[in-house]
Amino acid sequence: MSVRIVATIPFTDQKPGTSGLRKKVRVFQAANYLENFVQSIFDSIAAPRGSTLTVGGDGRYYNREAIQIILKMAAANGFGRVLVGQGGILSTPAASCVIRKYQTFGGIVLSASHNPGGPDGDFGIKYNIGNGGPAPEKVTEAIFARSKAMAEYRILDAADIPLDVIGETRLGDMTVQVIDPVSDYAELMETLFDFGAIRSLLAGGFRLKFDAMHAVTGPYAREIIEKRLGAPAGSVMNAVPLPDFGNGHPDPNLTYAHELVEIVYGAAAPDFGAASDGDGDRNMILGKGFFVTPSDSLAVLAANATLAPGYRNGLAGIARSMPTSAAADRVAQALGVPCYETPTGWKFFGNLMDAGKVTLCGEESFGTGSDHVREKDGLWAVLFWLNILAVRRQGVEAIVREHWARYGRNVYSRHDYEGLPTESANGVMQHLHDSFAVLTGSQLGSYKVVFCDDFSYIDPIDGSVSTGQGVRIGFGDGSRIVFRLSGTGTEGATLRIYLEAYEPDVSKHHLDAQVALAELIGIALQVSQLRERTGRTEPTVIT
């Protein structure tokens, strides 16, 4: 085996987004594209010779091929050991768990999260630092800068290594250790939750359905929910990970997880329904005919955290992304702990958790997590809910409605307009910026605008500044509208509109969110000129 130095030319489009670099599969398959980006990572992180790296992915199309390339490049760049999930599989939270447990220098995670897979689908790659979390902006900026100057990469001339057999293989001077992708993560979950109480709940006739969406959490859910907790076989549906996710869209929301939704809203509905996404870091929670918004889910978990053994001593604090509703803020206030508002992107929570400032955190985009890892964690959220249900012995809807009665309801919805022409989407955002002065102080229907801004954030730990994080229109009663361009798509632009109104009146808590938010929805379309500028009359997805 010998190290080959390959001459290359830089690509100009390798700037990582909120969760790494995501492109169409065919882009990554182009000559030197993946290799250039991987070399940019290795050149930027300056890992000491002999360091250990973690590698794994969500099993989507091109996952195995990419891992073989990364392993050979790691060997050529002086790494001493690589821990890789069996079959190339590691959910994103499990990768964070492995990095932290074995104290590896960092990790490369191959995923495009909730984006579609297959040969015509999406692929992604990101670097996680030694705390197990996504690389902060200063690291991703260095990687991007390096990618623009790439002239050569290093790769070992060697045969592919067997990924399906647990054990060690030598690759040049480096050891590749293929590990069980599930065991470390499952053991961590057992330290956080009362598996005995959950087993008792399930043994008593409580029925659940978990939709793995033919994505990475299938093996994890089968091991934990069916094997360790004793749920009947078949409680986990779509459990086999497939490179194209069974021609599905592995995004756990009411639109794309329609098979689960039909079951949970059907005549013989189970007591509890849940789903996770492509790489296992997102979750959707459902009761019988009842959808729990991710914002409410974070607030309910925070309010009931001490029911789970891993959180019995209480919370240091709570963090949420700016577009996420203020429901968690009300819980934090009641608990007497701080609540931090950050930009979208899990990396912003990492500093707060490392400094011991927060225990729980969440995003409205179906992501919830805690300081047990440094990624959002879909299956963790499902187990947390099961722990609460096992202790309280109430249904999902009853728990949420009781929560609203105590704290008030932050009526909330997100409207996604996917695949917009980039120029049109940018035009909407520019129009909103240009309207700040006119909107501020104006009366829009029954709402008075008290402020308009583009959210910026100063990290309280390292002082770093993030700007341009989303346009906010705030009203006098605490209601608000947020407009934001997503950083997770690979084709066109996705414009998200977030709508929130606070309702303390219990007699109005039964209203459907779209009905309760109807006036705000109309105002959002009016002030943004979205329909006129994009030609779209309806959102692609409503959650």
Catalytic positions: 113
> In the beta sheet, which residues pair with residue 493?
420
Look at the chain and count its residues. Answer: 543
Contact (Cβ atoms closer than 8 angstroms) between residue 353 and residue 514: no
- Which residue bears the tokens 């069996």? 86
d(CA 521, CA 499) in angstroms, rounded, equals 7
d(CA 71, CA 75) in angstroms, rounded, equals 6
Cβ of 476: how many Cβ atoms within 10 Å?
Answer: 11
Contact (Cβ atoms closer than 8 angstroms) between residue 94 and residue 280: yes
DSSP 421-451: -HHHHHHHHHHHHHTHHHHTT-EETTEEEEE
d(CA 297, CA 397) in angstroms, rounded, equals 11
The identity of residue 196, as a single letter, is: G
d(CA 223, CA 74) in angstroms, rounded, equals 31
- Which residue bears the tokens 């756990």? 252
d(CA 179, CA 56) in angstroms, rounded, equals 10
Beta strands in 277-359 (DSSP E): 283-287, 290-292, 318-321, 339-342
